Structure 1
Amino acid sequence: MSFKKRGPFVSLQLMSRWKNLVGLNVSIGGFVGKYPHCFEIFTHPFRRNLCCKITQKLKEVIVEEENVIRECEIDAVKRVKKLLLMSKNRVLRVHALRLIRKELGLPEDFRDSVLAKYSLDFKLVDLETLELVDDDDDDDDESLGVAKVEEWREVEYREKWLSEFEMNYAFPINLPTGFKIEKGFREELKNWQRVAYVKPYERKDMSRGVERFEKRVVAIIHELLSLTVEKMVEVERLAHFRKDLGIEVNVREVLLKHPWIFYVSTKGSTQTVFLREAYSKGCLIDPNPVYNVRRKMLELVLLKNRHSKELSRTGDETHEEKSDVVISSHDDWEGERDGDWVLPILMKSD
């Protein structure tokens, strides 16, 4: 069999260097061996060391994701514009955007393929600073300046005939299962719902008072999560927007203080915050094309070793039901580096 048909790959010895980088508490060999629908482990025909490549199934889903992201480019542009509109000076650091590019549905090369392309919307002041092109005559700015929670309030006014006093600054409340309601909680929550604050897209002086300031922070985080394709983001990456969006407080404390709005997952070595109202039974209530294709990736991951007998075999190698791999070779070879594949999955599941 021709070695060239193997396609891009990397040795498990080289992959072992990524263990701490990706936050694994098991060996790389043990990890990839658990997911035969995503990874294929084989012996290099010349070097005779164990190597890994992604399966054809996963490769097809990755290509599909890239195509969907290109097709939904306009939506991603709107998300970036809304973030800029929400920032204090209509300026964002490109580094911060790069950290949540997947959450925003942006391609890997978004600075060149998206930001530079839409020069009427964005201006790269330098390589790492993005500025919104100010156009006061643009009617679209008004529609972009409406937060998701304000759309929800409009529905509440129309369908439930609730008073403006009760709803003007309210948020959807979804109490966690088993949440213990202590005496006085409902009254405190009702009063918090009524607290006025400067809304995310309003360009006014910051409201005075700790409670009003904190509520604005809640609103900004709520809106940022609403802009993501999966209504979630890692807490650590969210913190990179603190200065630009004016949320210079302890982000984690704010999230934990409002568990009826935010759900913080601590699975693994990272903390991820989800917008609680956007999910039902572990799935988005209002899915989008990017989310749907990423669910396909997640489904391949969740299969683990199930149905692995159906996977095709090539030569004398099989990736069926491998639980651990012993790396016997410590030699690298130059050709591996050009063939590295990194699994672009950022899905979180509890």
Structure 2
Amino acid sequence: MILSKVSKHHCLLQFRIHINPQETNLPKIPFGPFNLFIQRRWKKPANTAQTRLESRTIDSKLNRLTTYLKKLKTILKIYELMSNRKRGPFVSLQLMSRWTNIVGLNVGMGEFVHKHPHVFDVFTHPVRRNLCCRISGKFKGLVSEEEGLVKDCELECAKRVKRLLMMSKNGRLHVHALRLIRRELGLPEDFRESVLGKYKEDFRLVDLEIVELVDKDENFGVAEVEKWREKEYREKWLSEFETKFAFPINFPTGFKIERGFREKLKNWQMLPYLKPYEGNEVVQVGACGGKNRYEKRAVAMIHELLSLTVEKMVEVERLAHFKKDFGMEVNVRELLLKNPGIFYISTKGSTHTVILREAYSKGCLIEPNPIYVVRRKMLDLVLLGCRNTRELQDEEEIKNGSDSLIRKAFAGNTTVGEWVVPILESFDNVNDHDDPGEIIDASEEFDGC
């Protein structure tokens, strides 16, 4: 009787077996009606910098901008290779096809060149009868204009380098790190001689690859974010406690705010920290709030470095070369991903580029500078593609011109309908002088071998 009761209760019991497939050598049992009692423990998903990078909120406008800039850099590499040749200002397409891997193209060189007729002039060699290519006059003029602006802004370049040295731990920087972001800072190609060697009262070359700051300037001790704080304090009448250590936050469209995120962000904004130009002491991580203060100082230093660049963006790999000189013993990519309202990382163009979010609006720089304006003109010329760029008259000019023709026609006592003839002749003259399909300027002399 007792055994029958035990067996009866035994049939009604449901055993739950806790199995971890990674710790046991048991074969994986497929899900079915006979193993419903088995409970599996699934592994917790990893929370790393790579997973956060993949799950971040995408900013389509900034991604599109970095894609376009990647194409512009490719064209500038081709221009540099063509300029280094001594035989002439043009190169055959057969020779240019060997540069495909050098410049990092995914398509053929001939196809890429024909897609940008406003940048490259393709013509047939009069003797060899092969296709050759040269840089268009308009694009070459923009490159020369940029080089002239960079030379004229040597004093501004020296100030930028001086600010970077003031942020460094020992007042020293590696020249190699500056060379990597030379174009981002707007430095000339020979900045070692024209900037570091020219302003000897500010810089001193300790070694072949190390530059040292001679004397600090108190006028450069104000960071760019502090100007924004002063503006917020005056215009929005916020308290000094709220704006003293705050940063401009601008989340991308579609950013999901989780529960408790606003409170954490508010506490982080009011957290005091050591500003970039105040001192070179390193905050101890073990102190009260030391880790957060240490990371906030690193955020401020990266924010200031991006503010000193021309286009407010730098590749993450190149930014990591300043970690040791700035005393930032943190994972730079992970730190940038923790602050999506301040920085945005774009993975377009086979590189990771960090962009200062507050500096851009709808894919354009809010406060442009002369060098950025010239580079934007280059980018606009590249983005024209195969489209025609015939400059049309304004509607008012056409209307005024037609009205004047009508007045002249009626002033000469012409019959009705005769005034239409001069209008048609004027438009025919305009169209005769404008050939949209022409690639090479006929007035330009051919450069021989």
TM tier relative to shorter chain: 0.7 to 0.9
- CA distance in structure 1 between the partners assigned to 2:280 and 2:194 by the alignment: 34
Q: Deviations over 1:32-83 (max 9, x none)?
A: 2211111123344555554432110100101111111122221111111101
1:216 aligns with 297
- CA distance in structure 2 between the partners assigned to 1:125 and 1:261 by the alignment: 35
Change (3 A) 1:221 1:187: same
Structure 1 residues not aligned, in runs of 5+: 1-5, 136-140, 316-338, 340-350
Alignment of 1:236-275 (within 5 A): 236-275=317-356
- CA distance in structure 1 between the partners assigned to 2:384 and 2:363 by the alignment: 17
1:190 aligns with 266
1:234 aligns with 315
Which has the bigger relative contact order, CA under 8 A and spacing at least 6?
Answer: 1
Contact 2:168 2:280 in 1 (8 A): no
Q: 1:225 aligns with which of 306, 328, 333?
A: 306
Q: Deviations over 1:236-266 (max 9, x none)?
A: 2111212112223221111122111112222
Q: 2:196 aligns with which of 99, 110, 115?
A: 115
More helix by share: 2
Larger CA Rg, structure 1 vs 2 = 2
- CA distance in structure 1 between the partners assigned to 2:185 and 2:309 by the alignment: 5
Contact 1:197 1:213 in 2 (8 A): yes
Change (3 A) 1:312 1:27: closer
- CA distance in structure 2 between the partners assigned to 1:36 and 1:108 by the alignment: 28
Contact 1:199 1:216 in 2 (8 A): yes
Report the TM-score, using the length of structure 2 for normalisation: 0.64
Contact 1:218 1:254 in 2 (8 A): yes
Contact 1:225 1:233 in 2 (8 A): yes
Change (3 A) 1:236 1:48: farther
2:233 aligns with 157
Shift of the alpha carbon at 1:303? 0.4
SS across alignment from 2:183: coil
Shift of the alpha carbon at 1:26? 1.8
Q: 2:222 aligns with which of 146, 166, 170?
A: 146
Contact 1:37 1:311 in 2 (8 A): no
1:335 aligns with none
SS across alignment from 1:102: helix
1:82 aligns with 163
- CA distance in structure 2 between the partners assigned to 1:275 and 1:305 by the alignment: 32
Moved more, 215-224 or 113-122: 113-122
Shift of the alpha carbon at 1:290? 0.7
Kindly tell me the number of residue pairs found equivalent between the two proteins.
Answer: 306
Shift of the alpha carbon at 1:161? 2.3
Q: Deviations over 1:251-294 (max 9, x none)?
A: 11111221111122222212211110011111111111111111
Structure 2 residues not aligned, in runs of 5+: 1-86, 285-289, 390-435, 443-448
Shift of the alpha carbon at 1:17? 4.2
Q: 1:313 aligns with which of 418, 437, 440?
A: 440
- CA distance in structure 2 between the partners assigned to 1:85 and 1:55 by the alignment: 42
Report the TM-score, using the length of structure 1 for normalisation: 0.81
Contact 1:147 1:223 in 2 (8 A): yes
Identity rate, percent: 70
2:187 aligns with 106
The one-letter amino acid of 2:235's match is: E
- CA distance in structure 2 between the partners assigned to 1:285 and 1:160 by the alignment: 20
Change (3 A) 1:231 1:305: same
Change (3 A) 1:17 1:128: farther
Alignment of 1:1-350 (within 5 A): 7-45=88-126, 49-134=130-215, 141-208=217-284, 209-307=290-388, 309=436, 311-313=438-440
Contact 1:92 1:129 in 2 (8 A): yes
Contact 2:121 2:136 in 1 (8 A): yes
Change (3 A) 1:22 1:189: farther
- CA distance in structure 2 between the partners assigned to 1:48 and 1:97 by the alignment: 46
Q: Deviations over 1:284-309 (max 9, x none)?
A: 11111111111110110110111173
Contact 2:142 2:374 in 1 (8 A): yes
The one-letter amino acid of 1:116's match is: G
